[in-house]
């Protein structure tokens, strides 16, 4: 999991890992492999999930 203070960027990192936000710069290395989360379906297939801070506002998507 990812933890941090409010405003520290953990939500943006989570959205990027989950394929909900495009990577603006840099790269993601997960367990020694470079990944490019193109979509939520791709991230789910890679074993990556995301729980938004306000599930009532954004809903819940199961893969």
63 pLDDT higher than 70: no
Higher per-residue confidence, 63 vs 27 = 27
Find the Cα–Cα–Cα–Cα dihedral 49, 52, 58, 63, rounded to 10°. 10
- Residue 17, number of CB atoms within 10 A of its CB: 20
Average pLDDT over residues 32-39: 91
Query: Which runs of consecutive H residues, i.e. helices, occur in 1-63?
Result: 10-17, 40-45, 55-58
Is residue 23 packed enough to be buried (19+ CB in 10 Å), middle (13-18) or exposed (0-12)?
middle
Q: For all residues of the chain together, what is the average pLDDT?
A: 86
Q: Quote the pLDDT of residue 30.
A: 86
């Amino acid at each position: 999991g990812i933890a941090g203070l409010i405003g520290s960027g953990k939500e943006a990192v989570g959205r990027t890992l989950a394929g909900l936000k495009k990577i603006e710069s840099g790269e993601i290395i997960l367990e020694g492999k470079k990944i490019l989360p193109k979509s939520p379906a791709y991230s789910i297939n890679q074993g990556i999930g995301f729980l938004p801070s306000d599930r009532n506002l954004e809903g819940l998507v199961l893969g």
